[in-house]
Amino acid sequence: MQTGLLSLVQSMVTPAVMISACGLLLLSVSNKLARIVDRIRGLNSEDRELPADVDMVRRLSIRNQIDILLRRAVLLRNACGLLYFAVAVFALTSLCVGLSHAAQFFEVLMLVLFVLGLASVVWAGILAYLEIRLSHQAIMEEIKELRLHD
């Protein structure tokens, strides 16, 4: 295999590795999102089934938890969107690598797309971190309710 062709194939592999990494991150983030959606549904159901004369502390706690869970869901939804965008951008990067032999323009576009993909992955990571911080708030809300009943 010619050195130029070998280099081209190697350059096309890098975006493929990034696509695989995004896939793993997407699996994790989408699983967390599914768990949050299930938890919201469970809390909504519990809230609807509470008798009218129930302690307001529990009802308020449920609603506060739902508010936090909704904010977490938005963060994770946005992280998923960024990761899907990164996958598309990395796929385009790989295509540009192949087309870079035809025109110099594709080399510049390849670099821009790769950096854009990396930025999307970084931003998705930041959103996932912010979601983790919010999950701590939800736990603290549950603990606060338990302590009020003791």
Whole-angstrom distance, CA of residue 97 vs CA of residue 91: 10
- Give the pLDDT confidence score for residue 128 in this predicted structure: 96
Query: Are 13 and 91 in contact, with CB atoms under 8 Å apart?
Result: no
Digit-coded pLDDT (tens) for 4-40: 666 767 777 888 899 999 999 999 999 999 999 999 9
- Give the pLDDT confidence score for residue 83 in this predicted structure: 98
Residue 1, pLDDT > 60, answer: no
Q: Show the domain range for 131.
A: 3-149
Of how many residues is the chain composed? Answer: 150
**Beta carbons within 8 Å of 73's beta carbon, 6+ residues apart:** 33, 36, 37, 40
Categorize the per-residue pLDDT at 59 as very low, low, confident or very high, splitting at 50, 70 and 90.
confident
DSSP state of 101: T
- Give the pLDDT confidence score for residue 141 in this predicted structure: 75
Axis crossing angle, helix 56-99 with helix 105-149, rounded to the nearest 10:
170
Structure tokens at 38: 């299930």
Query: Are 62 and 43 in contact, with CB atoms under 8 Å apart?
Result: yes
HEC assignment per residue over 50-87:
CCCCCCHHHHHHHHHHHHHHHHHHHHHHHHHHHHHHHH
Average pLDDT over residues 65-93: 96
- Give the pLDDT confidence score for residue 90 in this predicted structure: 94
Whole-angstrom distance, CA of residue 72 vs CA of residue 76: 6
- Give the pLDDT confidence score for residue 81 in this predicted structure: 98
- Give the pLDDT confidence score for residue 3 in this predicted structure: 67
Digit-coded pLDDT (tens) for 99-139: 887 788 888 898 899 999 999 999 999 999 999 999 988 88
Q: How many domains does the chain have?
A: 1
Structure tokens at 78: 């946005």
Whole-angstrom distance, CA of residue 138 vs CA of residue 127: 17
